[in-house]
A and B are shown apart, each in its own frame.
Chain A
Amino acid sequence: EVQLVESGGGLVQPGGSLRLSCAASGFTFSSYDMHWVRQATGKGLEWVSAIGTAGDTYYPGSVKGRFTISRENAKNSLYLQMNSLRAGDTAVYYCARVGYGSYEGAFDYWGQGTLVTVSS
């Protein structure tokens, strides 16, 4: 069974840093592109970052230069290093797997999310 379990969320002051983790199981982690998606309370989904199987990374302008996505295939883990955090980064952060073959391009599995609150 595919499982994605996020951790590392919490309360952080503006300007602070936080590192999120996503533990993957039930599939060959190294073979899949992985993403982070966030959702502020009562708001829609927002794509945050992506990492390919070769380690290539992508970010939207809203987080580029502040967030860093990485992966450690030996530990079946995905990470998101978040620096210079702002109140607008407050959200539930989900890790999501991009499907393979027929499901290519689709976020076919999601974790349950971890809450990040940026406040003084």
Chain B
Amino acid sequence: SYELTQPPSVSVSPGQTARITCSGDALPKQYAYWYQQKPGQAPVLVIYKDSERPSGIPERFSGSSSGTTVTLTISGVQAEDEADYYCQSADSSGTYEVFGGGTKLTVL
């Protein structure tokens, strides 16, 4: 079955830049989406179609794509950004959805 691979954890100090990667063979063909999830809450969409930012999401959140890897970048990380982040995409046929294993962002 198709898998998306994320690092389990990323740590940064406040004000620094956090980069979270997500790798998958079908990413050149399928868009990726990113979600932020804080403890006890439902996920929230922060990036769609690789690099688009929904209304209401701070400009410090951005996304990019290169080959089989997509990256979520958080510039000028704030304490409130500490959360789990998940990438999501579809298999090469576009039929089945899949989530990455999630990355815990720790703000030191």
Contacts and interface: CB of A to CB of B under 8 A. Distances in A.
A97 to B, nearest CB: 10
Nearest to B52: A102
Contact of A110 (B42, B90, B100): B42
Interface string B2-25: 000000000000000000000000
A45 B99 contact: yes
Contact of A44 (B1, B31, B33, B100): B100
B43 A110 contact: yes
Contact of B45 (A45, A50, A58, A107): A107
A32 interface: no
Contacts of A72: none
A106 B86 contact: no
A94 B44 CA distance: 12
A53 to B, nearest CB: 16
Contacts of B97: 35, 47, 50
Contacts, number: 60
Interface residues on A, range: 20 to 34
Nearest to A112: B42
A39 to B, nearest CB: 8
| Interface of chain A: mostly helix, strand, loop or mixed | strand
Given A45-B102, A105-B33, A58 B96 contact: yes
Contacts of B43: 45, 94, 107, 110
Contacts of B42: 94, 110-113
A105 B1 contact: no
Contacts of B99: 37, 44-47
Nearest to B89: A105
Nearest to A113: B42
B48 A106 contact: yes
A61 interface: yes
Interface in A27-80: 35, 37, 44-47, 50, 58, 60-61
A106 B1 contact: no
A99 interface: yes
Contacts of A35: 97
A107 B54 contact: no
A89 to B, nearest CB: 17
